[in-house]
Structure 1
Amino acid sequence: MQPAEASEGRVMLTDDELGAIDAWWRAANYLSAGQIYLRANPLLRRPLDREDIKPRLLGHWGTSPGLNFCYAHLNRVIAAHDLDMIYVLGPGHGGPAAVANAWLEGTYSEVYPHVSQDAAGMERLFRQFSYPGGIPSHVAPETPGSIHEGGELGYSLAHAYGAAFDNPDLIVACVVGDGEAETGPLATSWHSTKFIDPVGDGAVLPILHLNGYKIANPAVLARIPEEELVALLEGYGHRPILVSGDDPAKMHGLMAAALDEAIEEISEIRRQARHAGATGRPRWPMIVLRTPKGWTGPKEVDGLPVEGTWRAHQVPLAGVRENPAHLAQLEAWLASYRPEELFDTDGRPRTGVLATPPAGDRRMSANPHANGGLLLRDLELPGFRTYAVEVDAPGTTSTEPTRVLGAYLRDVIAANPDSFRITGPDETASNRLSAVFEATDRAWQAETLATDDHLGPHGHVMEVLSEHLCQGWLEGYLLTGRHGLFNSYEAFIHIVDAMFNQHAKWLETTRKIPWRRPVASLNYLLSSHVWRQDHNGFTHQDPGFLDVVMNKKPEIVRVYLPPDANTLLSVADHCLRSRDYVNVIVAGKQPALDWLSMDEAVPHCTRGIGIWDWASTDDGTEPDVVLACAGDITTLETLAAADLLRRHFPDLRVRVINVVDLMRLQPDTEHPHGLPDAEFDALFTTDRPVIFAFHGYPYLIHRLTYRRNGHHNIHVRGYKEEGTTTTPFDMVMLNDLDRFHLVMDVIDRVPGLGSRAAGVRQRMADARLRARAHTREHGEDDPEISGWTWPHGER
């Protein structure tokens, strides 16, 4: 197929139909501009005066008329073809348009009855926008029909495709702004055409909206030659349909024809794939819509051009309250939409405005897919205990924890073939989750070769070397009522810090919106972590995502550091059952000692923190020192240190505490999982030294415990930005987190132990030197260290 200029001859709309589309567009434009400017006199029943205008003019006009134009025409094709369609608005601050259309459809008044569909409701609609105590200026969770937070650019297309996966009847219309199209995440998202299955998935209809400018600069895609733009989009796998102009009368016909053509192509692709046995990757249609920025707004202000320029981006008339000429120009602009033709004397939309949109759940602002909790169903989860590792004695056998988890996830996929997906940047096998490929392939629609491994059109593992795309796909999937897991190398999950922030903010906001139903949690599995980068080095060593997560509201985030395979299974099952959280699980993929049987792991994970009596020597009395640990490698080093202390100081009372749920360290006043002060004091004491071996950066533990009674006694060892390509034990030594250094910390901090333990301290320092020398000579750790097991028999 060749790119096509849309032709009016392709669709035969009556004058009444075209008039109704134009009426809707004018009404939406009027409502969009009114939200930016007005707090009173919404229907211009009297001349505008200074007090009708908001004192702070906030919002973005430039993209709104184009978005309203798309919405009006999408409504027509939904009603004409009985389509199941939602929209994703990529332009960052298209909030006025999204709210205006939801109000016109009646959905806004249904979920917010005080914003009624009349003059009084219109006044509230205008006043609340970007106003204290009101609503944001972007397409936020408060906006019915939205699954996409418009405050940050780049993620719209990924969200759209995520929504389409396993939704075979759904079409997601995604408006991509030309400024947004310059971002890395959006540029990668075009490759989603290689992953969408026309048989089992829905369809995405991208509408690339070229209005020419960002805030102050030209948009790249709007300024390259059209043949170059078409070649780019065809290279991504689309057949672009071009719609361009500024004459509304002509543009309505062109857009109607383009949408009919696109919907026909999508229907034919589905028919060929689902009923005619067609295979291979189709070339999906998309629309390139070129309109002026700020279309239908002021053409010129103070002698300077506005419409079609960057000056239309935000508030084209900024001095309305102070400048009578601007006020008069605003009134003329609003009157140009002829509101008396659009709204009756009570302020309700007239019949002509409401002639074309769909009804009920077919309205894009009311589609259940855009409130995914309405469609969410519990996962069918296998009993995780059946995957348990046998542990007859602690620390005597080894297992690869994520490999064990892979078998569990394999059966989760098998039991939930249409509602569970795993995303990850080409690391599912590397992270030892290969068992999942016994139940599914990697999703793939591009060319395949005989040497490929587990690629197929219906796969439920989504791998592409873009963390942004993996995150965006999964967010769209979750927000439309499904479940999933994102597995990644720990260091590179930082790439999606901003996306995590936006999703966490979305979840936080939706908890305060009664009509938004809970969705499945966003689950991260971070492996190939900081302490075991055997094939890599310093670039792959960063546990700082935990610090980013901990900045979010405690109602939203959870962080788990299971120390072995059985605790990992218990934690994973819990996370997959949860709702409205971001769960972060950090777990190793390398062989690691098994500490707890499943009967011990479940209560330990349920508590989230606990004393390991079998590793302690305080015998239920007041300890001389507390050894605490959170993380798999830190648990290993802590227990090895406890073993050394037993041998060198048999009378020393040592308490070993393991932390699985990092939030347990906070007070219960700060986090729902937090420990009350009395329980924390009972565990850690208030006056004894605590040597805390932590997986991540040490100051995070201090942040979590700074209000605790004994905080001045807590000494934390963790990652201190020392790393390279080296052996596992050399890595912990570089960061003073090894067993020998932990023993030295005990000697230095237990009162009265320092002088009589000077010889032991020296032996610990010598042991570090020998271990370092062994790695330099042999290229591997001393077998006595790498082969260490817990030597104290049964519990």
Structure 2
Amino acid sequence: MGGQVIFEANPPPDPSQLPDEILDFRVQLNTKNVLTDDELRCVRAYRAAADYIAAAMIFLKENTLVERDIRAEDIKPRLLGHWGTCPGLVLVYAHANRLIRKTKQDMLYIVGPGHGAPAILAALWLEGSLGTFWPDYARNKEGLAKLISGFSSPGGFPSHINAQTPGSIHEGGELGYALGVAFGAVMDKPDLVALCVVGDGEAETGPTATAWHGYKYIDPAESGAVLPIVHVNGFKISERTIYGCMDDKEITALFTGYGYQVRIVEDLDNIDQDLAASMEWALGEIHKIQKAARSGNPIVKPRWPVLIMRTPKGWGGPKKVHGEIVEGSFHAHQVPLMDAKKDPEERAQLQQWLSSYNPHKLLADGEPNEDILSVIPEEDHLKLGQRKESYASYEPLDVPDWLASGIPVEKGTEASCMKVIGEFLHEVVKRNPKSFRIFSPDELVSNKLDAVLRDSGRNFQWDVASRAQGGRVVEILSEHTCQGMLQGYTLTGRTGLFPSYEAFLGIVHTMMVQYSKFVKMAHETTWRQPCGSLNYVETSTWARQEHNGFSHQNPSFIGAIINLKPALARVYLPPDANCFLSTVAHCLRAKDYINLMVGSKQPTPVWLSPEEANRHCIAGASVWRFASVDEGVRPDVVLVGIGVEVTFEVIAAAALLRKLIPELRVRVVNVTDLMILGPSGTHPHSLVDTDWLNLFTKDRPIHFNYHGYPQELRGLLFGRLNLGDRVTIEGYREEGTTTSALDMMLQNHTSRYHVAESAVRGGSLFNERVQVRSHEIISELRHLAQKDKEYIYEHGADPEGTFDVPKFD
């Protein structure tokens, strides 16, 4: 064979050959006679009624109770919705109701497959919660007709669960986040159980895979519990799911490895008995774990329950359509009878399908019969659609007076923004031991916020040093899980903080956007009360990530926030520690916003006293008279700093220009609230035109030294009056490596030399004395920049004194 070596690989193991002993870890229950005959009849009636309503919502605009044969004109012009997951969601909802009615358990229902809105809306109508919040959908014939005919039509409920859906705290349109949200929701809510349905398609996502570890951050003495139900129906839009291809051994091995007790619910002939027994067992296990922890004898590494529920996709719908299998296949995912309006054969199938639920018996005159009502909790506050945690439970924080924590300004004073706010947050934690948490992707100490750990510590129950200590910090190296937990914690009434390296906050970009959509819709309801803001602290910024290199240099999350609905978006770039204190105190008190605070963990000058910082932050921007010529009066040019390090370069440039060309009249402006810059009326914070022109002048050149991408700022400024071509902008140019701090500024044209050059060039247009020296000064500035660059590459460090506080004496 010409010297070729052939290796015989061992064949991969056959999963079906896993040892039978693995199944010993699966929970076995006696499921006979858990429900009485009466209970069984009532639960089945409830399921049939809800399944009927869910199916009818997808198809019918008229004849909503099928009181005669369905005609073409009865069917909606556009068929939208997802039938496949609905029967499973209804099944769980029915048994949650039964369990709540029996035990009085406080419970939230969190739905991963958010496209199963028909199932949830049907159940909400049956329990009367829909009519409570939306009187037009009262529990009568008119309300039911409006629900069915209006679904996924203009003016009706959309095809996904959203903030208009009573009881919801999760939209679910983007899959993968329900489990993290559920764990956040039960933190510091000791009596609450979050019933979380995770679809088997959703279970394939990375965020869900990590969120299975969420219970390891739940202290059963202080918090509630999550009961996950993995709904395995086998198919996504057009393919099998991973979980659907796993047998019982594999599923049991996987979740046992995660640390759960596994119960598989799959007896289709007796599914109600099976699920009733399983949910009662699961709730009993939860109570056992909680009772042990709350009596002072906690179970070390308790094994929480998880249910694996196997049912056919689209269960109860058409078996076959045009000879093709539908029930139990991907064809049931959305609309099983897509041509029912035009195709008489499909219309006949729809008639048969909907009539099979006997709606005339279950919903006579458009009202649920007594069997159905007997399943629903009697007390309104226990109904899944009326839990106050989901819409009206905000607890304002006791926020300390930040001025007492301010840094006195003396010559050369420097402070790390993060260290200073770390001390402040330590006090916030002490004052709010049950309503404030920090969710951090393992960067708290690195970002110099570790003062919060002084008393409270972390809340990692699998660590012997942390468990049962009441820690307020959740650290898990998964931005997705931190974001999900923060969302659940915030939407159930509390306040959180998410600190992160700047470059990696973008990992949760789309999660944040999905959350903003939920909050936007919440604003448009009359019954949802405000909740705390989502608060991000972005540190370890590109300007001081010269040691970690290019991969850690990325300020793009700013742009993600800017693009949100203006009513929600807030971006702050406080220039020093006192301004950061003012900003954090404000954001922790604010409601319903998405706040991004960008700062530095490295020591930087404290430019403003606490009182000055307070006025500056209230204004959002101000002229820094100490760095301006003649306190900024009659300037030739305006220099603007937006961000900690780039503002330092503006101040350094102003000092340099005083020496090199004192005849240039410079006004220095700092912007701490980015949103003031947009055209008047485009954002609640945007300055009116007169105030904007007073700050930036009517006609003088303006140079912005901006922390983010220049294009973001150009977009924000677009539409401002009288800008013309007098604005120049520099910011992060996507240039960087492992280098020095000054070299990062040089590479991205945000250095003092670049700022000064722009100032000279702009000032020369209005000052003849500057004009005659312009070329000479610009040449000298470029020379100085080149000499510094050569020094950096020769010595591996910035020239001594580069970041000393500039002097204007």
Give the TM-score normalised by structure 1: 0.97
CA distance in 2, matches of 1:336, 1:5: 34
Following TM superposition, by how much is the alpha carbon of 1:270 offset from its aligned partner in structure 2, in angstroms?
A: 1.2
Correspondence for 2:652: 640
Q: Which moved more, 1:502-511 or 1:769-778?
A: 769-778
- Counterpart-to-counterpart distance in 2, 1:623 and 1:282: 68
AA aligned to 1:781 is D
Distance 1:649 1:318 in 2: 76
Work out whether 1:29 is the aligned partner of 2:70. no
**Which residue does 1:438 correspond to in 2?**
454
Aligned: 1:3 with 2:26: yes
Residues 167-187 of structure 1: per-residue CA shift (max 9 Å, x gap) = 100000000000000000000
Q: CA deviation at 1:747?
A: 2.1
Instruction: Give the CA deviation at 1:317.
Output: 0.4
The Cα of 1:91 is off from its aligned counterpart by 1.1
The separation in 2 between residues aligned to 1:712 and 1:465, in whole angstroms, is: 46
Aligned to 1:407: 423
1:257 to 256, 259, 277: 277
1:7 touches 1:258 (CA, 8 Å); kept in 2?
no
The size of the alignment, in residue pairs, is 780
Give the C-alpha shift of residue 7 in structure 1: 3.3
Query: Quick one: which of 35, 39, 42 aligns to 1:17?
Result: 39
8 Å Cα contact 1:193-1:237 kept in structure 2: no
Q: Which amino acid aligns with 2:27?
A: A
The amino acid that maps onto 1:242 is I
Q: Which one of the candidate residues 729, 733, 737 is aligned to 1:720?
A: 733
Residue-by-residue CA offset, 1:380-436 (whole Å, 9 max, x unaligned): 11111111111034xx21111110000110010111111000011101111111110
Name 2:370's counterpart in structure 1: 351
**Distance apart, 1:767 and its partner CA:** 1.1
Assess if the C-alpha contact under 8 Å between 1:195 and 1:457 holds in 2: no
| Equivalent pair of 1:5/1:243 in contact (CA under 8 Å) | no
Determine the structure 1 residue equivalent to 2:665.
653
Q: Which runs of 5+ in 1 are unaligned?
A: none
Measured after TM superposition, the shift of residue 232 of structure 1 is 0.6
CA distance in 1, matches of 2:57, 2:112: 20
How many Å apart are 1:672 and its aligned residue? 0.5
What amino acid maps onto 1:701 in structure 2? L
Instruction: Quote the residue 2:708 is aligned against.
Output: 696
Which residue of structure 2 lines up, in the alignment, with residue 516 of structure 1? 528
1:679 matched to which residue of 2? 691
Shift of 1:701: 1.3
- Equivalent position SS for 1:87: strand
8 Å CA contact 1:6, 1:243 repeated in 2: no
Whether 1:391 aligns to 2:396 is no
Equivalence map 1:332-731=2 (5 Å)? 332-344=352-364, 346-359=365-378, 360-371=380-391, 374-393=392-411, 396-448=412-464, 457-619=469-631, 621-708=633-720, 709-731=722-744
Note if 1:739 corresponds to 2:773: no
Pick the aligned partner of 1:106 from 128, 136, 143: 128
- Inter-partner Cα distance in structure 1 for 2:26 and 2:707: 54
1:757 equivalent to 2:783? Answer no
SS at match of 2:493: coil
Is 2:89 aligned against 1:73?
Answer: no
**Partner amino acid, structure 1, of 2:530:** P
Task: Report the CA distance between 1:369 and its aligned residue.
Answer: 1.2
SS in structure 1 at match of 2:119: helix
Which whole-Å deviations, capped at 9, do the CAs of 1:97-152 have from their partners, x for residues lacking one?
Answer: 11111111101011111112111111100122111122211111111010010211
Residue 419 of structure 1 aligns with an amino acid whose one-letter code is S
CA contact (8 A) 1:445 1:456 kept: yes
Over 3 Å counting, the alpha-carbon distance change for 1:474 and 1:122 in structure 2 is: same
1:779 aligns with 2:791: no
Q: Distance in 2 between matches of 1:409 and 1:199?
A: 24
Q: What is the rounded CA distance, in whole Å, between the counterparts of 1:650 and 1:759 in structure 2?
A: 14
Matched, 1:790 2:806: yes
Q: For 1:743-781, what per-residue CA distance to the aligned partner results, in whole angstroms no more than 9, with x for missing partners?
A: 111222331535423222222111111211221122211
The answer to whether the Cα contact below 8 Å between 2:577 and 2:606 also exists between their aligned partners in 1 is yes
Instruction: Look up the match of 1:217.
Output: 239
Is the contact between residue 417 and residue 600 of structure 2 (CA under 8 Å) also seen in structure 1?
Answer: yes
Question: Per the alignment, in what secondary structure is the counterpart of residue 513 of structure 1?
Answer: coil
Counterpart residue type for residue 265 of structure 2: V
Residues 198-209 of structure 1 mapped to structure 2, 5 A cutoff = 198-209=220-231
Deviation (angstroms), 1:367 = 0.9
What amino acid is aligned across from residue 143 of structure 1 in structure 2? T
Residue type of the alignment partner of 2:740:
T
Q: CA deviation at 1:458?
A: 2.3
Secondary structure in 2 matching 1:356: coil
Counterpart code for 2:199: G
**What's the CA shift for 1:313?**
0.1
Q: 2:260 aligns with which of 206, 219, 238?
A: 238
Q: Aligned partner of 1:32: which letter?
A: A
Residue ranges of structure 2 left out of the alignment (5+ in a row): 1-23
Structure 2: distance between partners of 1:711 and 1:128 = 49
By how many angstroms is 1:455 displaced? 6.4
Taking the aligned partners of 2:617 and 2:258, their CA distance within structure 1 comes to 46
List per-residue Cα deviations over 1:733-752 (Å, max 9, x = no partner).
01111001111112223315
Cα distance between partner residues in 2 of 1:535 and 1:457: 35
Q: Secondary structure at the match of 1:462?
A: strand
Q: How much does 1:668 deviate? A: 2.7
Matched to 2:67, the amino acid is R
The reply to whether residue 226 of structure 1 matches residue 245 of structure 2 is no
CA contact (8 A) 1:6 1:242 kept: no
Q: Deviations over 1:461-504 (max 9, x none)?
A: 01111000000000000001101100000010000000010011
For 2:409 and 2:497, the matched residues in 1 are separated by 27
Runs of 4 or more off by more than 3 Å in structure 1? 454-457, 618-621, 752-755
Q: Which residue of 1 aligns with 2:345?
A: 325
Shift of 1:272: 1.4
Rounded to whole Å, the distance in 1 between the matches of 2:478 and 2:176 is 13
Q: 2 CA distance for matches of 1:466 and 1:305? A: 40
Q: CA 1:457–1:26 in 2, change beyond 3 Å: closer, same or farther? A: farther
1:296 paired residue number: 316
Contact 2:676/2:686, CA 8 A, preserved across alignment: yes
Write the distance in 2 (CA, Å) between the matches of 1:516 and 1:193: 28
> 298, 306, 322: which is aligned to 1:286?
306
- CA distance in structure 1 between the aligned counterparts of 2:751 and 2:547, rounded to whole angstroms: 21
Give the distance between the partners of 2:283 and 2:213, measured in 1 at CA: 21
Post-superposition shift, 1:456?
Answer: 5.4
Provide the C-alpha distance between the structure 2 equivalents of 1:620 and 1:84, rounded to a whole number of angstroms: 61
Residues 344-382 of structure 1: CA deviation (Å, up to 9, x unaligned): 2x21111111112213110111111111xx221211111
**The residue matched to 1:760 in structure 2 has which SS?**
helix
- Measured in 1, the distance between the counterparts of 2:608 and 2:520 equals 35
CA contact (8 A) 1:685 1:710 kept: no
Which secondary structure state, in structure 2, belongs to the residue aligned with residue 271 of structure 1? helix
Shift of 1:223: 0.3
Distance 1:391 1:41 in 2: 75
Matches within 5 A, 1:85-104: 85-104=107-126
User: Are 1:638 and 1:693, in contact at CA under 8 Å, matched by a contact in 2?
Assistant: yes
Q: Report how far residue 27 of structure 1 moved.
A: 0.6
Q: CA deviation at 1:6?
A: 4.4
**CA distances 1:577-618 after superposition (whole Å, capped 9, x unpaired):** 000000000010001011000010001000001111111114
> TM-score normalized by structure 2?
0.95
SS at structure 2 position matched to 1:443: coil
**Conservation of the 8 A alpha-carbon contact between 2:221 and 2:468:** no
Work out the CA distance in 2 between the residues paired with 1:64 and 1:464.
33
Q: Which amino acid aligns with 1:53?
A: I
